[in-house]
Amino acid sequence: MDTLTHIALGAVVGEAAGGKKLGKHALLLGAAAQSLPDVDFLASLWMSPADNLLAHRGFTHSFLFVVLATPALVLFARRWYREKKVSPLHWTFFFSLQLCIHLIIDSFNAYGVGWLEPFSHWRVAFHVLFVVDPFFSSPLGLAALALIILGSKHPFRKVWTRFGLIASALYVLYAISNKVETEQAVREAHKRTELQPERSFTTPTPLNSWLWYAVAEADSGFYISYHFIFDSQPNFDRTFFHKNEQLLNPVLDHEELKRLKRFSQGYYTIEQWGDTLVFNDLRFGQMAGWKDPQAKFVFHYFLQHPDENKFVVQRGRFALWDIETAQSLIQRIKGN
């Protein structure tokens, strides 16, 4: 999830796990611990964009990192908060809980999380929440704000803590139910058209869990469609994108290409933009594809001009967005 969501989530979980003994310090410690796995962003300062893609949400998002980081955090907390009557076991629970929640909630996005690094490069991605989802984050943000404002002994602190955690948890369950419904509808649509995809996945479009982006792999490429939870009539107009594997012949020996293929988990297409080969990772969706079925993909990497690939994932996330695009998204969420 985005940084602000992790901060708010860490603060509210901190209040729930240590507010009685630590007071408002639990908010600060929780927010800091919850944000710690994202320290991997520092790798971008010296790594190439392709290497950084694999480093992000890699080792610092593994359970081994939790095992190694928790004792260090406990040692720091015990020295800094000597006057607090908090046992080492409670500190261990507090920090390991924060780190594990970070790993788990990030696995609900499309990017993928290296839970088993460095022993396995397998990435966990459940495709349930978009990386920025205000319906998940808002209850946590409101609760965190209330906990900052209210006095440490205020009786409503429990109310706000429970509100933030329960409302966000219920939204995750709701998003999961939407995904299950979407997966079933997509399978039925494939069956009606006699398409038997080799692999497929669905993932939410930006800022919501009602409009879903679906990808199905065929022999020479991928079918892309959109499913709207509130459509009165199922609408599965599919657009086919050729993989264009043959375009890679001039760069097959490039190490960056090998890393990109691993990062994309095989969900990629190749395009020629002028004199540049472009690698598209389909897992992150299109730029307003519900509006333009031929829209370019959010994640695109310039194979022949790698110096232009800074912030490759973020580059297209909200590109081309304006009021009209936002309105079109709202209209499609409402149904056809």
Residue in the structure block whose two tokens are 């079109």:
328
The answer to whether residue 319 sits within a structural domain is yes
Residue 102 sits at φ, ψ, to 5 deg, of -60, -50
Residues 13 and 137 in one domain: yes
The answer to whether residue 117 sits within a structural domain is yes
Determine contact, residues 294/239, Cβ cutoff 8 Å: yes
**DSSP, residue by residue, 198-232:** SSEEEEEPTT-SSEEEEEEE-SSEEEEEEEETT-S
Determine contact, residues 304/251, Cβ cutoff 8 Å: yes
The answer to whether residue 134 sits within a structural domain is yes
Residues 235 and 266 in one domain: yes
Tens digits of residue pLDDT in 109-146: 999 999 999 999 999 999 999 999 999 999 999 999 99
Q: Given phi > 0 = left and psi -120 to 50 = alpha, else beta, which region is 244? A: left
Residues 105 and 208 in one domain: no
Q: What is the dihedral of CA 150, 156, 160, 165, to 10 degrees?
A: 130
Q: Within 13 Å of residue 231, how many CA atoms lie on the same side as its CB? A: 16
The reported pLDDT for the residue numbered 55 is 87
The residue range of the domain holding 315 is 193-334
The answer to whether residue 273 sits within a structural domain is yes
Residues 162 and 218 in one domain: no
When pLDDT is cut at 50, 70 and 90, the band that residue 81 belongs to is confident
Average pLDDT over residues 18-41: 94
Residues 16 and 104 in one domain: yes
Buried b (16+ CB within 10 A) or exposed e, 6-25: bbbbbbbbbbbbbbeebebb
The reported pLDDT for the residue numbered 314 is 59
Average pLDDT, rounded, for the chain: 89
The reported pLDDT for the residue numbered 315 is 63
Identify the three-state secondary structure at position 299. strand
Residues 166 and 17 in one domain: yes
pTM above 0.85, yes or no: yes
Residues 146 and 230 in one domain: no
**Both structure tokens of 21:** 């003994």
- Most confident among 40-44, 67-71, 277-281 (mean pLDDT): 67-71
Determine contact, residues 143/166, Cβ cutoff 8 Å: no
24: pLDDT strictly greater than 70: yes
Tens digits of residue pLDDT in 226-279: 988 887 666 668 899 999 999 998 888 888 888 899 999 999 999 998 888 899
- How far apart CA 1 and CA 130 sit, in angstroms, is 8
**Both structure tokens of 56:** 């992000």
**Which residues are registered as beta bridge partners of 204?**
212
The reported pLDDT for the residue numbered 85 is 84
